[in-house]
Each structure stands twice: as C-alpha cells, then as structure tokens.
Amino acid sequence: MDRLQLLGMDDVELLTFVTDTLGESKFRAKQIREWLNRGAAIDEMTNLSAALRSKLSEIAVANPVTIMESYKSKLDETEKFLYALPDGNLIEGVVMRYHHGDTLCVSTQVGCRMGCAFCASTLEGRVRNLTPGEILGQVAAANRHIQKEDPSRRVHNIVLMGSGEPLDNYDNVVKFLKLVNDPAGLNISLRNVSLSTCGLVPRMYDFAEEGLPVTLSLSLHAPNDEIRKKLMPVANAYPYEQVIAACKNYVEKTGRRVIFEYALVKDVNSDTKCADELAKRLRGLQCHVNLIPLNDVKERNLSAPTRQTVEAFQRRLALKNISATVRREMGADIEGACGQLRRKVLTQAKP
C-alpha cells in the first residue's frame, strides 16, 4: 500500500487525519505541520510519543521526496539535486542563488509527453504525474538542504520549469500552489512563483480563473506556426493566434505581464527575420521575452547559435520596443538544464 504523504495535505485534511485516523487531539496537527515545514521526517518529530511516531510511520511519510545526490557548480553557486520518490522514480531540480534570494526549479511530472524536439525530459515520454506532496516535497527538501549550510538561506522564488508540463497535471499543480502559499505552511508568495507552459490553451483559460497571482511563462520558441511545429508538437493542437489570445486573457484577468520563453536554435528560429516577425506578433502585449541560447542535448541534432546571433536577435527586438533579456547560463558544468541530469543517471545506470 502507498503510504499517505503528510506534506501534500492541506490544513483540513491534516486535521481530519489526526483526529479521525490517528484518534489524536487537534493540537497534534499543528505540531506535525511545524515539523513538515522544516522538512523533518516522522522519526524526528520528537514532541510526538514514540508509539505515535511508529504508528504514523506505518501509514504515512512526512516528505515523499529525498535528495539522493547533489552537485554544486564550481562556476557559480548553482546546485543541482537528484531526488528519489517512494516508487523509485527519479526527478531533478536546481537551486540558483540570486541577489534577491534563492530560486528553486521544480518538476511537476516524471518525464513529459509534450514531445518538444529540443527537450531531454520528453525523450522517454511521461511516466507519471507528481502528487501535490511530491511537488511541495522538492521545496521542503531543498530548503532543508541549503539551510544546513547557511541558516539564513531559504527558497524565495519557485519556477515550475523542471521536468513535466504543469498544466498537464493541472489539479495537483493548483493544489501545490495553494499549499506552498499557505501562511501556516511554507508561506511563499505566489508573486514569487512562475509557471511555465508549452501552451495548453484550454488549461491556460482555466488557470486564469483560479485567482492565483502566479507569473505565466509561455514557451513560444518561434515567430510563427510553421517554425513552432518543427520544434513543438503542441503547436499542431493549438495554433499561434490561440496561444497569444490565451496569454492576453491571462494578462487581463491577473494584471500580470506574461513572460515568453524563446530558446534560440541555430538555423531554425534565430535570424533577424524571425526577430522582426516575433516583434510584430507580440506588439501591444504586456510581456517580456526571455532569450535562452539552446542547451545542447546530445540526443538531438540541435544546437545554439553564435553569441553574435543571440545579441543581434535581442537588439532587433529592442529596436521594436519588445523588452528582452538573454538568460544567464547557470550551472553549465552540472547538467543545469532540464531533464539532463536524470537522463544522464538513467542512461549510466543501464547495463
């Protein structure tokens, strides 16, 4: 039997579990919550009796996510984690240290079924969705890890940009967002959270109605459908105009600007003609463009353009009044990009 994941329970669920399943009094729920926030395991919850801890351990786990390995970049302070899940699946995450605080990149699925041509996470399809406790568990585990070294550190910003398509695991992701924001929980402001999607249009409309002040990042990667379809199969389901319209709706509903992710791929989407066309498509939209020189994925025959091409692309957008920045490459020596580490470990593990 799968053990219950305490970290994935909201306050009402935890209270019901404590009173009805455990037959304990209400204040135990508060005690347990405090331990959960610190990333503690059940046997560390020392203000519970040994008998209760042992009973609890039989049916539940505090945090379903454990850091199996961590790798620190020698180039910057980026640290990559390989996490293990209760069923033996592996996911990965990365924490980046910026002047405004630590940013954690979290995964929402084991693998992914979106099939983007340049992405390592999708090479073997989607294995399964992560539970709310497994998404939150990454934050709790990372927090605990970085605080061991420096108690003043904590995860301040979260980007849902690890493996998986967040809107393809909609209910669990929305529950995670509510949990992580809970003042009695980790209490992270949703203004510090970005959700990145490849553009599942109907879900983007649903998400705009949730009333969560999350920043939406849209993986655009092309100035038109013809090029987008070469890189992203999802473009066959939802045409460009529909994706942009869904972004406009998100801006109107939430008042927050949209971030467009644009991975620059050599000879595919990176010449100035593409920049001009992109500027035209985005005109009048409250947005910012994040340019990412492609992280080479060995299994795919795609690579990044030259630095000059990247800079020319950015200048061209600026000329047309589209704000754009080139994403700083972090953790290049530790397989910093999405899906690469898990894949490396999985392929090495194969005989």
Residue 234 Cβ vs ligand SAH, minimum distance, rounded to whole Å: 8
- Pick the stretch among 71-79, 91-99, 113-121, 315-323 that binds ligand SAH (CB under 6 A): 113-121
Would you state the torsion angle of the CA atoms of residues 13, 61, 7, 137, taken in this order, to the nearest 10 degrees? Answer: -160
Q: Which helix (H) or strand (E) holds 159?
A: strand 155-160
Residues near ligand SAH (CB under 6 A), total: 18
**Cβ partners under 8 Å of residue 350, min gap 6:** none
Concatenating the DSSP letter of every residue in 70-117 gives EEE-SSSS-EEEEEE-TTS-EEEEEEEEETTEEEEE--SEEE-SS--T
Using CB under 6 A as the binding rule, the residues of this chain from 163 to 182 that contact ligand SAH are: 165
Task: Work out whether 278 is an interface residue with ligand SAH (CB under 6 A).
Answer: no
Interface with ligand SAH, residue 118, by CB under 6 A:
yes
Contacting residue, 161, 179, 227, 291, with ligand SAH by CB under 6 A: 161
Q: How far is the CB of 350 from ligand SAH (least distance, A)?
A: 22
Binding of residue 119 to ligand SAH (CB under 6 A): yes
Q: In whole angstroms, give the CA distance from residue 238 to residue 246.
A: 10
Site for ligand SAH in 282-341 (CB under 6 A): 292, 294-295, 297, 337-338
Residue 345: CB minimum distance to ligand SAH, A: 17
Min. distance of Cβ 32 from ligand SAH in angstroms? 32
Per-residue contact string for residues 206-245; x = within reach of ligand SAH by CB under 6 A? -------------x--------------------------
Q: State the minimum distance, in angstroms, from the CB of residue 273 to ligand SAH.
A: 21
Q: How far is CA 215 from CA 218, 255, 265, in A?
A: 10, 10, 25
32/254 with CB nearer ligand SAH:
254
The pair phi, psi for residue 234, each rounded to 5°, is -60, -25
For 245: left if phi > 0, alpha if psi spans -120 to 50, otherwise beta; the answer is alpha
Q: Which residues pair with 101 in a beta bridge?
A: 98
Whole-Å CA distances, 121 to 124, 140, 209, 233, 340: 7, 23, 29, 15, 7
Please choose, out of 41-49, 114-122, 134-142, 268-276, the segment that lies near ligand SAH by the rule CB under 6 A.
114-122
- Residue 263 near ligand SAH by CB under 6 A: yes
Residues 212 and 190: their CA atoms lie apart, in Å, by 7
Chain positions 188 to 207 lying near ligand SAH, rule: CB under 6 A, are: 196-198
Tokens of 119: 């992405």
Residues in the chain: 351
Query: Annotated catalytic sites, by residue?
Result: 92, 338
Which residues are at the interface with ligand SAH (CB under 6 A)? Answer: 114, 116, 118-119, 161, 165, 196-198, 219, 261, 263, 292, 294-295, 297, 337-338
